[in-house]
Every structure is written in C-alpha cells, then in structure tokens.
Amino acid sequence: MGTVETLTTAGIGAGDEVVVPSYAPADAAEAVRRAGAAPVFADIDPDSLCLDPAAVAATLTLRTAAVMPVHLFGRRADLAGLRAVAERRGLIVVEHEPAAPLDEHARRRQANAAYLNARLRGVVTPATGAGIEHSYRTYVVRIPGNGRPDRDAFARALRARGVRCSIPVQTPVHRLPAYRRELWLAETERAADQCLALPVDPALTPRELHRVVAACNALGGLVPEAA
C-alpha cells in the first residue's frame, strides 16, 4: 500500500495536518496533499538529518493527525522517538518509504563509508556508533565553512580534482514555491547550506576512494565553529 493510500485508509484527509520534514525530497509533502491533508514542516536532528522528535512535538496542533518520517540517505529516522511523541496525542506514524533491508550493495557502501569515515579530515563525516543503522545509499558530509571555502566552493574544488559530488537537497521543501511557508527551521537551513554528497558507490576502487580522501583533506582541516 502506498503512502497516499495508507493516509486515506486511516481516515486522514481534508482539515487534517501531517508533520513532514522539509529537508527531504518533496515526495512526502506531495503525498500528504494528494490525500487531501496539509503538510506541516518540522525541523531535523543534526546528526541523522531526519525528523527530530522534539521539533515534531513543538509543531503539533489540534488538527495534527499523523507524523510522516523520511529515512534519508540510508539513515533511519528515530521511529521510536517519533512514535512516543505520536502516541501521547493518539496520532499515527506513517513511514513515507520503509527503510530497505541491507543487501550486498549496501554492505559494500558501508565498507566504503567506513574507509572514508576513518580518513577524511576536511569535512564533518556522518555520525556513527552503536544503534545507528545506515546503509549509505548516499554518503553525506558537512562543509561548515568558518574561514575555509563554503560548501559550494568546496564542491567546485573537488570537481576540479576529479571527484564527483552533489548537493543532496538543493532547496528545503518549505522554501519551494508550491509549499512556501514563512518559518525558520534552524537545523534544516544549516543542513541545506552545509551538506555535500560524496561518492560511495559499491563499485568504487581503492584508488578512487583514496582520491576522494586526498582531495578533501588537501582543502584543509576542520575549523571549529564560532561560539
């Protein structure tokens, strides 16, 4: 059953609100609209880049009917935290797209990501640790700037060195013309300004991985963010 059908089967439609992330593709917000409900945007957790349960709790109104997390870049959203927030208000949690099980390609991406995590010095690598499930469908780092080149300049420098890279979310959904809202989502804005996707494809060779590390590290080490 698709997301729209799940919402409509649950009786969600006109007059209802569904909380979705703005730092994500617009698909989730579009599914909410197709069900007849209104998308409401909440901020993200800075580590997972997925919906932050505390931010979701702050957006709830009497019209809120559901919370729709998006598992982003292969990192799972905090479903336990989101369900705890939802259950206190009698809401449902609808995953926009359930996280895919790990396969051989995902395991190769994880191995490549582990190589990058251990060696990159010029970027902020994805958070890792016990209990963090990440398939690295996209390997996303942060370029915080602070006196070094900003994210876009960093990306141009990497491309000039032969390293493929891309901006994973060009524009947060709440700033797109079709969904524009006058609100400030601090972590969403920060991620939109800082995040960059580096290659982590299963077919990458050790030489190609080394090139990514060498190019990033050549651009300088991290500069602590100003207080």
Is residue 32 a contact partner of residue 18, using CB atoms and an 8 Å limit?
yes
Per-residue pLDDT for 184 more than 90? yes
Rounded distance between C-alpha atoms, residue 23 and residue 25, angstroms: 7
Task: Please report which confidence band the pLDDT of residue 196 belongs to, taking 50, 70 and 90 as the band edges.
Answer: very high
What's the Cα-to-Cα distance from 111 to each of 122, 154, 202, rounded to whole Å? 20, 25, 9
State residue 207 phi and psi, 5-degree precision: -65, -40
pLDDT at 223 > cutoff 70 = no
Closest CA to 171 of 19, 17, 29: 29
pTM (2 decimals)? Answer: 0.91
Q: pLDDT band for position 146 (50/70/90)? A: low
**pLDDT tens for residues 30-63?**
999 999 999 999 999 999 999 999 999 999 999 9
Tokens of 168: 């994973």
Query: Which secondary structure element, helix H or strand E, spans residue 12, and what is its range?
Result: none
- How do residues 99-144 score in pLDDT, each as one tens digit? 788 899 999 999 999 999 999 987 999 998 877 889 999 999 999 8
